[in-house]
Amino acid sequence: MSFVISFGRVLFAVVFIVSGAAKLFDLSGTAQEIATKVVVPADLAGYAASLEAATSMTIAQMLAILAGAVEFVAGVLLAFNIGVRFFSVVLILFIAVATFYFHDFWNQTGPEVRNSVSHALKNLSLIGGLLVLFGHGRDAVEARALTYTEL
């Protein structure tokens, strides 16, 4: 049974690995999409300008790199059963923020509402799966291994 759990965790992580890699391979497209949805609050505009000057990148470009890296790294580590609880929480927060900014069906009208609701529900399901991983962590596989070796 531990093989099934491990294989399921790897299959579950694939969505984050592929999505993160796609964001990193298309940084300009990802940054452009982020720029249309995310606005830096006025209180943080000075800090944002300082960051942009220091890195020679826009905030949208930095967020694109961060988003791709978080998804890719967290997905790989989940697949390899490393830091499962921590990275489950990281991805839960990431998905919640992404859903709020990119699938805001409550602010939309017309046919785009159905698409955004569908994506928001998919993200809700991913959060549910991550909560299951968080609840089990590495315990399910390790407990089974300990039980067999102690016999």
Considering only residues 106 and 147, tell me which one the structure prediction assigns the higher pLDDT.
106
Give the Cα separation of 145 and 151 in Å (integer). Answer: 10
pTM for the predicted model, two decimal places: 0.85
Tens of pLDDT, residues 14-42:
999 999 999 999 999 999 999 999 989 99
Q: How far is CA 59 from CA 35, 94, 100, 105, in A?
A: 8, 17, 18, 25
Tens of pLDDT, residues 63-117:
999 999 999 999 999 999 999 999 999 999 999 999 999 988 888 888 888 888 9
Q: 58 exposed, middle or buried (CB, 10 Å; 0-12, 13-18, 19+)?
A: middle
The domain tally of the chain equals: 1
